[in-house]
Chains A and B, each alone.
Chain A
Amino acid sequence: MSLLFDKSVPGRHGFRLPKSDVPEPLPLDRSYLREEDAPLCELSELDIMRHFIELSHRNHSIDSGFYQ
């Protein structure tokens, strides 16, 4: 089973935020800002759902076998 980061495709996302309905603020001073984006994976909702469903099927639990 491949990892989420292996499945990541640049530019893909699972949710679209509403457009801002307020004026654009003055930007924060650069000394407060991070230089690169947080290294998160980029996946569609379907990619994510399939990944976690596959993971859940691999889980051993009291419903699928002996559990001490």
Chain B
Amino acid sequence: MEVSNASLYDGGTALAEACQMAIHATDRDRIVVDGGVNPVYRKMLDCYTANLSISFTEIPVTQGQSDRGHILDELDENTAAVILQNPNFFGVVDNHSDIVEACHARGILVIQSVYPAAMALLKPPGEIGVDIVTGEGQSLGIPLSFGGPYLGFMTTTRSLVRKMPGRLVGRTTDRQGKESFVLTLQAREQHIRRSKATSNICTNQALCALRAHIYLCVLGKSGLRELAKLCYAKTCYAKSRFRAIPGVEVMESNPTFNEFTIRVPIDAGDLAGLLVERGIAPGLPLGRFYPGMQNYLLVAVTEKRTKYDIGTFAEEMESVLRH
């Protein structure tokens, strides 16, 4: 992508700002949201835009993936943007280039929420023509800290830079011809034309952004790729262990990164409770977000988990389900 701002609060608020940006850029008022977008983000979109005239249409996923046919059917002349996520909430990896192409043919922008570590391996949104990219930067070396502060990021194309909210830093030269950096294009913000401001967000997570920046420097080009490969390998190993447990089904569609869904023979919330008693936090019961998915559990495996950890997790789950 060509431009990034100096960060936003978190992945959800960054996505909400991207929606407003798309509304301003297209002068349309409808956003189509893929059901694979994090449901917490979708809730935040509703909350953030409750008093704005923006309508959202959510398209349920099919087999954990973006339902292309349904998404394209929903596009009309009032649609400002389509929101996609890669990997999506279920960890499913996708190549959304076909959706991007169809949207652009209708003058519709594409917003993609991405998981930054996965981008070291997966096709980056800039390569497939996405217009606005947002995401949560917590995984870039920011501690969990019981829920925050975290780091939202937002990038876009040069053609949309004047619609972008938040702080922008530009590279220029001073009177002596020395290279310098300045806050730039501030007429977009409330400094000059408050009523026409792109957004009234000024706060950013500079400390968290600095930490993420240092994290990326330390890992570097090859380190981030190795990290992503390690995450992918551990996810595949975990899936192979869960496939072997009687009564457990790993939901298979596209490949997954870090997260994947399993179906268990009992209520996933009850299972999670039993495993917590054994010292294992197994994942997120999906019934909380998706009615009818009471027996589904979203499991996450990152580079932090060892083969032994994953094996113990699988053995404990098998033991709980047997009794």
Contact = CB atoms under 8 A, between A and B. Distances in A.
Given A13-B222, A40-B221, A34 B233 contact: no
B217 interface: yes
Interface residues of B, number: 37
Q: Counting chain A CB atoms within 10 Å of each CB, which of B94, B232, B236 scores highest?
A: B236
A65 interface: no
B123 A34 contact: yes
Interface string B89-102: 00001110000000
A25 B228 CA distance: 13
A34 B224 contact: no
Contacts of A42: 220-222
B255 interface: yes
A32 interface: yes
B223 interface: yes
Contacts of A21: 306-308
Contact of A38 (B93, B124, B310): B124
B217 A33 contact: no
Given A17-B227, A24-B233, A25-B232, A38 B119 contact: yes
Interface string A14-43: 110100111111101101111101111111
Interface string B183-224: 000000000000000000000000000000010111111111
Nearest to A21: B307
A29 B206 CA distance: 37
Interface in B249-307: 254-255, 303, 306-307
B56 interface: no
A45 interface: yes
B3 interface: no
Given A45-B218, A48-B218, A33 B123 contact: yes
A41 B220 contact: yes
A4 B234 CA distance: 32
Contact of A15 (B223, B229, B255): B223
A13 B255 contact: no
A23 to B, nearest CB: 6
B219 A14 contact: yes
B216 A32 contact: no
A64 B118 CA distance: 41
A11 B123 CA distance: 23
Contacts of B310: 22
B219 A37 contact: no
A28 B220 CA distance: 22
A13 B223 contact: yes
Contacts of B168: none
Given A26-B236, A32-B95, A38 B255 contact: no
Contacts of B232: 25, 28
Contacts of A25: 232-233, 236-237
A31 B220 contact: no
25 contacts: A11-B222, A13-B219, A14-B218, A17-B223, A20-B229, A20-B233, A21-B307, A23-B233, A28-B121, A28-B232, A28-B255, A31-B123, A32-B122, A32-B123, A33-B121, A34-B120, A34-B127, A37-B222, A37-B225, A40-B217, A40-B221, A41-B217, A45-B218, A48-B218, A52-B214
Interface of A: 4, 11-15, 17, 20-26, 28-29, 31-35, 37-43, 45, 48, 52
Interface of B: 93-95, 119-124, 127, 214, 216-227, 229-230, 232-234, 236-237, 254-255, 303, 306-308, 310
Given A20-B229, A28-B232, A43-B218, 7 more contacts: A22-B233, A25-B233, A32-B122, A33-B122, A34-B119, A41-B217, A42-B220
